[in-house]
């Protein structure tokens, strides 16, 4: 009985969808915008850290952290706030622009040239049992590494830890997410992320054991507090409420979709072949009857013409002995001759047996209606299109995108100004921006009219290499001879620097503008 119950529970568990596991690439991408927040003091000769915590970029110049992380800087105007990124050459200073002591939230604005990749806020609440990741700069890790005070001002990767959501509950007059991802002193103000690297809370504090050491449960201020706080400060964060799917899940779904389409195409072809067989059989029968009828009619006509020729010949013979029969003789002779020639012409031009095959072929050609609705490729000529995002085929990590206009020309010119490269059977264009640490690879299939963007978030170091490789060539303009193949070869240097798979994929289907 117990074994039967265990088997039953196991079968039920298999039918229940499990939350997406954190994708290491997504967490690493989000961690690019997680910073160390250091409160600095000075004695006039040297600069020293007073305390530190964690923060994360909600825009390229705005940092979210806990209010208690910057409390000392709010109370002492001689102290400064340093923002130390996880990668790059140095730190930046920040100033406080908004604080909610009751919600334990604060916003810091960068005052220098540092720019950070903004994180995306999850548009749905955390689900019980969902696997999550905490990212930050715990002090116990710093101590274990033997870091000294000066190391706090040096860019270092943030520490990532995993756990599970244990529930949501109000705490200290605000909503929190209770979870088991290990955090410690220094993690305060860092993000709690879902499986796609989206913010579901701001880590604030943890439970402690009797001896004061860090224990297993932690609290993060939920998005129900974070989003209103940001909007009150005039910040509209990027919010994404779409289901979290891994690239492996997306690829599997795309393979299944293609297999379904191919199976449907094979079924259509089989159905059409069966219809063609029936139509050919009918055409064959009709052609046989038609040809036999035409042959019989021609033979009968030839016989009548021969009979007419014989009658005219007989009349001519009789007219030869009459006194005035010369004229009649000539007329009758001419009729006889013409009738013989016509009979021979009708006989030799009557349709042969091979006419059956020709008439069947003509009937089959006349009956063709094209491939409308059979899923075959679309006319791949110039087209002025509107492309619409397909959420079921996309992995959207950031803000869901809007529709886009796409004016395509057969030589690979887009919107009259951007040349696409052609290599390995694909039309692509690489974009390596200076204001964002993400490389985008756009591709377009003119046959199916599918436009796709693969986005690769990189560290500052990796992005610098990508920018260097991109600066090594100048993309040819639209209209330049052989521009597509030249650009296809030029882009390979940047492609070689990209990770194996993207972090985000946007798939659009395109149709005539205004349709």
Query: Does the pLDDT of residue 482 top 80, yes or no?
Result: yes
Query: Does the pLDDT of residue 108 top 90, yes or no?
Result: yes
Per-residue pLDDT, 323: 61
Per-residue pLDDT, 320: 67
Q: How confident is the model at residue 322 (pLDDT cuts 50, 70, 90)?
A: low
Of the two residues 318 and 282, the one the predictor is more confident about is 282
For residues 176 and 287, what is the distance between their CA atoms, to the nearest angstrom? 82
pTM above 0.85, yes or no: no
Given 366, 391, 424, the domain boundary residue is: 366
Per-residue pLDDT, 368: 57
Same domain, 236 and 261: no
For residues 185 and 75, what is the distance between their CA atoms, to the nearest angstrom? 21
Handedness of CA 354, 359, 365, 369 (dihedral sign): negative
Per-residue pLDDT, 16: 39
Domain total for the chain?
3
Neighbours of 435 (CB within 10 A): 6
Average pLDDT, the chain: 83
The phi and psi torsions of 111 (rounded to 5 degrees) equal -110, -5
Same domain, 76 and 200: yes
Of the two residues 285 and 131, the one the predictor is more confident about is 131
Which of 2-16, 49-63, 145-159 tops mean pLDDT?
Answer: 49-63
Same domain, 120 and 219: yes
Same domain, 97 and 141: yes
Same domain, 225 and 89: yes
Same domain, 417 and 499: yes
Same domain, 319 and 403: no
Query: Does the pLDDT of residue 444 top 90, yes or no?
Result: yes
Q: Which of 126-130, 272-276, 394-398 has the lowest mean pLDDT?
A: 272-276
Query: Packing angle between helix 247-319 and helix 355-366, nearest 10 degrees?
Result: 140
Given 244, 271, 296, the domain boundary residue is: 244
- What share of the chain has pLDDT > 90, as a percent? 42
* Residue 30 to residues 312, 398, 426, Cα–Cα distance (Å): 106, 10, 30
Read off the tokens for 396.
């959207």
Same domain, 173 and 235: yes
CATH for 135: 2.40.10.120
Q: Is residue 10 part of a domain?
A: no
Q: Is residue 129 part of a domain?
A: yes
Of the two residues 471 and 372, the one the predictor is more confident about is 471
Closest to 189 (Cα-Cα) out of 321, 83, 294, 66: 66
Query: Does the pLDDT of residue 507 top 60, yes or no?
Result: yes
Q: Is residue 15 part of a domain?
A: no
Per-residue pLDDT, 48: 82
Find the domain containing 306 and state its range. 250-366
Same domain, 97 and 235: yes
Query: Does the pLDDT of residue 7 top 50, yes or no?
Result: no
Per-residue pLDDT, 11: 38
């Amino acid at each position: 009985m117990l074994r039967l119950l265990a088997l039953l529970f196991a079968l039920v568990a298999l039918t229940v969808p499990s939350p997406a596991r954190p994708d290491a690439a997504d967490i690493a991408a989000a961690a690019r915008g997680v910073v160390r927040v250091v409160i600095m003091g000075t004695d006039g000769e040297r600069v020293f850290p007073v305390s530190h915590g964690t923060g994360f970029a909600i825009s390229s110049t705005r940092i979210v952290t806990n209010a208690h992380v910057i409390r000392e800087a709010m109370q002492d105007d001689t102290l400064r706030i340093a923002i130390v990124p996880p990668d790059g050459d140095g730190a930046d200073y920040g100033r406080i622009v908004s604080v909610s002591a009751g919600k334990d939230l604060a916003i810091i604005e960068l005052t220098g040239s540092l720019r950070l990749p903004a994180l995306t806020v999850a548009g749905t609440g955390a689900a019980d049992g969902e696997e999550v990741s905490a990212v930050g700069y715990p002090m116990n890790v710093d101590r274990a590494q033997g870091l000294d005070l000066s190391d706090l001002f040096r860019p270092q990767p943030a520490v990532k830890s995993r756990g599970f959501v244990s529930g949501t509950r109000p705490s200290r007059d605000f909503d929190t997410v209770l979870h088991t991802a290990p955090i410690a002193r220094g993690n305060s103000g860092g993000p709690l992320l879902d499986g796609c690297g989206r913010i579901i809370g701001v880590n604030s504090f943890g439970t402690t054991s009797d001896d004061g050491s860090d224990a297993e449960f932690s609290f993060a201020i939920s998005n129900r507090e974070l989003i209103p706080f940001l909007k009150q400060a005039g910040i509209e964060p990027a919010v994404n409420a779409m289901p979290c799917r891994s690239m492996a899940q997306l690829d599997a779904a795309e393979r299944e979709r293609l297999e379904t389409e191919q199976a449907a195409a094979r079924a259509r072809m089989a159905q059409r072949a069966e219809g063609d067989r029936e139509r050919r059989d009918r055409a064959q029968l009709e052609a046989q009857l038609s040809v036999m009828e035409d042959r019989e009619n021609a033979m009968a006509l030839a016989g009548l013409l021969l009979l007419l020729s014989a009658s005219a010949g007989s009349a001519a013979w009789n007219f030869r002995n009459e006194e005035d029969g010369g004229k009649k003789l000539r007329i009758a002779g001419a009729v006889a001759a013409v009738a013989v020639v016509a009979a021979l012409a009708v006989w030799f031009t009557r349709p042969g047996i091979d006419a059956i095959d020709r008439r069947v072929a003509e009937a089959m050609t006349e009956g063709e209606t094209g491939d409308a609705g059979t899923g075959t490729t679309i006319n791949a000529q110039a087209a002025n299109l509107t492309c619409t995002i397909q959420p079921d085929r996309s992995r959207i990590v950031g803000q869901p995108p809007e529709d886009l206009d796409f004016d395509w020309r057969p030589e690979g010119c887009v919107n009259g100004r951007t040349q696409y490269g052609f290599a390995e059977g694909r039309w692509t264009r690489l974009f390596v921006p200076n204001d964002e640490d993400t490389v985008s690879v756009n591709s377009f299939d003119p046959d199916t009219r599918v436009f796709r963007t693969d986005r690769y978030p990189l560290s500052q170091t990796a992005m610098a290499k990508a920018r260097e490789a991109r600066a090594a060539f100048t993309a040819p303009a639209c209209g330049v001879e052989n521009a597509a193949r030249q650009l296809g070869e030029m882009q390979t240097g940047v492609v070689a620097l990209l990770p194996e798979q993207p972090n985000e994929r946007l798939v659009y289907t395109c149709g005539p503008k205004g349709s």
